[in-house]
Amino acid sequence: MITRTRLATGACALLAALAAGMAFPAGAVADETSATAPKVDLVLDVSGSMRARDIDGQSRMAAAKQAFNEVLDATPEEVQLGIRTLGADYPGDDRRTGCKDTAQLYPVGPLDRTEAKAAVATLAPTGWTPIGPALLKAADDLDGGEGSKRIVLISDGEDTCAPLDPCEVAREIAAKGIGLTIDTLGLVPNTKMRRQLSCIAEATGGTFTSVEHTEELTDKVNQLVDRAADPVVTPVATTGADQCAKAPELKSGLYTDREEFGQQRWYRVKVPHGWELRASVSVSADRAVNPSYGVLLRAVTERGREIVRGEAAGNGRTDVISTGLRYPKAEQEGAEGELAPETVCLQVTHSFSAGSGVQTSPGLPLELTVDVVEGPSQSSDVAAFGLGRGWWLLGALVLVGFLAGLVWGWVSRWRIAVWRTN
């Protein structure tokens, strides 16, 4: 009987699978997934200067290879990843030839980790630094599809193929409106290279990071690849004020702004009674800053009384620092009619300071998330033992488990007594 039931169940499952396959052809599902998959092109500088041994006692090239191997292991399955090189093949002195030296080492698509690692292992520092031409080709590598597109450029020097300015190339790519972001990482950068890589990143809304250790390189590239897999949300540009009374009123959403060094930004949010305000802020160091910094997010009343705050500190090992806060606006008991929402002022302050000779304007990129949601009722907002509204369920489960244990113990003892009697 059991065998027949299992056979019947298996037959039903097989028929269901066949029906699903007929209704949704595998090719159609694969094509749809491929069209919306996020794409990342890692562009690696393999010019002669990558021989320098100044990253954790090894060459810049060895550090890049080690980082790439770890990144390839950690790349999410849904990300289509490719690798492009610049300066990897031509060792000569002819400038025209050297400035064409960029090639797709591994095509953008589903990742074969073993094959990609084998390709990276063959690289050796060789030639020129054609950053501009490599960015143009990388944009072509990412052509097509509806998912997010990101170029991650890792270089240890300035472009050597002027007058094709890589910063102008980045602006040209941004002007196409294809939603492509370029992030740049500078290996042991000097002032000129830092300025150029920062300009490239800023042109497309990307980030620049200075890297002097292998672990930093691995962590940052992993972060950028993971970010490509995140759902794309288009932030709304806003401009905060220098005081609450003049601040723009924000609703739930994602906002971007810029905050100058030593400045503070104010925004206003209306919170209805019985609702909850959740807010978070991230400030990015898109240029060289001094170590030891922090960011502060305060929620205050219109009269200046602090309600709640969130703060975070950094020590120079990350280029983004974030914090957040929550403020539940309790319902007012005994109130007649509908109460007006409370205006909450959000203040953002950071303590970044610019490095020597670094341009201070425009301000640092700021990203603010605001969420106003209906909160739990007062009667269940704070429950016994800090367990929230599920405390009664947990208590019931504990009681049932206790009674079941007693019953099972009594039954077991009764069965043993009967067995001994027999």
State the CATH number of the domain containing residue 102: 3.40.50.410
Which amino acid does the sequence have at 75? T
Give the pLDDT confidence of 382-401 residue by residue, as tens digits.
333 334 445 555 566 667 76
Q: What CATH number should be reported for the domain holding residue 322?
A: 2.60.120.380
Q: In the numeric block, which tokens belong to residue 399?
A: 């009681």
Asked if 199 and 262 sit in the same domain, the reply is no
Q: Which of 229, 257, 287 is the last residue of a domain?
A: 229
Q: Which of 182, 207, 229 is the last residue of a domain?
A: 229
pLDDT at 54: 92
Asked if 170 and 42 sit in the same domain, the reply is yes
Confirm whether 131 is domain-assigned.
yes
Q: How many folded domains does the chain comprise?
A: 2
Asked if 248 and 192 sit in the same domain, the reply is no
Asked if 268 and 187 sit in the same domain, the reply is no
**Do 188 and 212 contact (CB within 8 A), yes or no?**
yes
Confirm whether 167 is domain-assigned.
yes
* Cα–Cα nearest to 204, from 161, 231, 166: 166
Confirm whether 303 is domain-assigned.
yes
Asked if 90 and 211 sit in the same domain, the reply is yes
**Do 248 and 239 contact (CB within 8 A), yes or no?**
yes
Q: How many beta carbons lie within 10 A of that of residue 266, not counting itself?
A: 20
Asked if 165 and 103 sit in the same domain, the reply is yes
CA distance linking residue 411 with residue 101, whole number of Å: 82
pLDDT at 407: 73
Asked if 148 and 266 sit in the same domain, the reply is no
Single pTM value for the model: 0.56
Asked if 44 and 138 sit in the same domain, the reply is yes
Question: Which are the contacts of 187, defined by CB distance < 8 A and separation ≥ 6?
Answer: 45, 50, 55, 60, 63, 64, 154, 155, 156, 211, 212, 217
Confirm whether 169 is domain-assigned.
yes
**Domain assignment of residue 68, given as a range:** 35-229
Asked if 240 and 215 sit in the same domain, the reply is no
Which residues of the chain, if any, have pLDDT below 50? 1-24, 26-30, 377-389
Q: How many beta carbons lie within 10 A of that of residue 66, not counting itself?
A: 18
Asked if 51 and 100 sit in the same domain, the reply is yes
Confirm whether 408 is domain-assigned.
no
CA distance linking residue 45 with residue 63, whole number of Å: 12
Question: Which are the contacts of 379, defined by CB distance < 8 A and separation ≥ 6?
Answer: none
Q: Which of 229, 261, 279 is the last residue of a domain?
A: 229
Asked if 70 and 104 sit in the same domain, the reply is yes
Give the pLDDT confidence of 37-83 residue by residue, as tens digits.
999 999 999 999 999 999 999 999 999 999 999 999 999 999 999 99
Confirm whether 380 is domain-assigned.
no
Asked if 215 and 349 sit in the same domain, the reply is no
Confirm whether 247 is domain-assigned.
yes
Confirm whether 416 is domain-assigned.
no
